[in-house]
């Protein structure tokens, strides 16, 4: 007699509940994951500490020392600051730097925004024009400065050749004390506006199209749409880029160093160029670090004040 096996219904099969890992094992796994994450961050922290934080702290210390490479430093207190403040080039350097910053804001801050508006309205060849606008950023800064130095040459430079072809008066450009600084502003604007244009373009493309449609239905013209829709929607990006541009232009160095050498008649000597002269021409690292600390304090105070004002403006709005 054959015995048939009785099968249990599928729903009658007991399902074993999945047991959670013990608390100790879960805690160990979390600690292991955190340790691995911190290990990945350690490399970046070491790079910042070695190449950013340590030089900054070291510069603050040297600002209060008489320091020459190869010799023991000697504490001199605020002597370096006093000597730098009485330097005839000190006032010219700060005046030129502030003038360069103001001109860069008037010229170099508006042009990228206008270009971004134009690129955002294009219907054809968008990628081509974006590459054209961004191309100067990919050129090394020294190469850019050398190209513009040839462009500004008062004899056979392309700028004066174009003016002669149009029967217009030529200019001394970087060789004239009145035109040298504005000529360097043009170089810096052309070389650095590509990245700013792309950031503005990304911000413009994130604006909902319904806002423009509502503005058009209300009868708003182009300027009114830009004023009441575009600028308010990109306000945060505009404020951040303005702060970054001010900090960057206050540290202008490549253009005066390569194109004009600080001349003519100290018309293009900037704070960073004066720091370079103190360190590598005068061999006065204490004075160079004192100037660096002054610039650091000024930019830090300005950034704090700027962020405070913009934050209070946002809260009032």
**Lookup: tokens for 162:** 């174009």
pLDDT (tens digit per residue) in 250-309: 999 999 999 999 988 899 999 999 999 999 999 999 999 999 999 999 999 988 888 887
- pTM exceeds 0.95: no
At residue 197, the pLDDT reads: 92
Angle between helices 180-205 and 235-249 (to 10 degrees): 150
Decide: residue 269, CB within 10 A, 0-12 exposed, 13-18 middle, 19+ buried: buried
Q: Among 1-5, 101-105, 126-130, 200-204, where is mean pLDDT lowest?
A: 1-5
- Which tens digits make up the pLDDT trace of 131-143? 899 999 999 999 9
Whole-number pLDDT of residue 41: 87
Question: Which residues are paired to 65 by β-bridges?
Answer: 75
Give the Cα separation of 66 and 71 in Å (integer): 10
CB distance 74 to 66 below 8 Å: yes
Long-range contact set of residues 306-313: C-beta below 8 Å, sequence gap at least 24: 306/243, 306/246, 307/243, 310/239
User: Which residues does residue 66 pair with via DSSP β-bridges, in sequence order?
Assistant: 74
Give the pLDDT band of residue 16 (cuts 50, 70, 90): low
| Mean pLDDT across the chain | 86
Q: What is the largest CA-CA distance in the chain?
A: 121
**Please, are residues 273 and 256 in contact by the beta-carbon 8 Å criterion?**
yes
- 3-class secondary structure for 20-53? CCCHHHHHHHHHHHHHHHHHHHHHHHHHHHHHHH
Does the pLDDT at position 9 exceed 60? Answer: no
Rg of the chain over CA atoms, in angstroms? 30
């Amino acid at each position: 007699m054959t015995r048939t096996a009785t099968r249990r219904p599928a729903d009658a099969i007991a399902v074993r509940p999945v047991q959670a890992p013990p608390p100790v094992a879960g805690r160990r796994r979390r600690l292991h994951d955190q340790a691995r994450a911190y290990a990945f961050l350690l490399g970046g922290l070491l790079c910042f500490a070695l190449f950013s934080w340590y030089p900054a702290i070291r510069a603050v210390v040297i600002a209060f020392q008489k320091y020459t490479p190869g010799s023991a430093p000697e504490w001199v207190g605020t002597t370096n600051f006093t000597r730098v403040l009485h330097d005839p080039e000190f006032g010219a350097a700060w005046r030129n730097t502030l003038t360069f910053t103001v001109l860069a804001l008037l010229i170099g801050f508006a042009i990228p925004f206008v270009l971004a508006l134009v690129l955002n309205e294009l219907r054809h060849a968008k990628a081509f024009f974006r590459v054209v606008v961004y191309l100067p950023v990919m050129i090394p800064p020294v190469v850019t400065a050398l190209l513009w130095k040839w462009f500004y040459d008062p004899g056979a430079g392309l700028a004066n050749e174009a003016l002669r072809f149009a029967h217009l008066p030529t200019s001394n450009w970087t060789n004239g004390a009145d035109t040298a600084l504005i000529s360097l502003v043009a170089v810096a604007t052309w070389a650095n506006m590509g990245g700013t244009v792309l950031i503005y373009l990304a911000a413009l493309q994130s604006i909902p199209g319904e806002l423009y449609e509502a503005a058009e239905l209300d009868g708003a013209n182009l300027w009114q749409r830009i004023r009441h829709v575009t600028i308010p929607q990109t306000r945060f990006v505009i404020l951040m880029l303005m702060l970054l541009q001010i900090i960057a232009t206050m540290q202008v160095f490549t253009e005066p160093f390569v194109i004009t050498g600080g001349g003519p008649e100290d018309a293009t000597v900037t704070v960073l160029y004066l720091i370079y002269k103190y360190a590598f021409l005068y061999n006065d690292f204490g004075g160079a670090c004192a100037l660096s600390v002054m610039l650091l304090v000024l930019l830090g105070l300005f950034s704090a004040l700027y962020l405070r004002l913009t934050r209070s403006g946002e809260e009032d709005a």
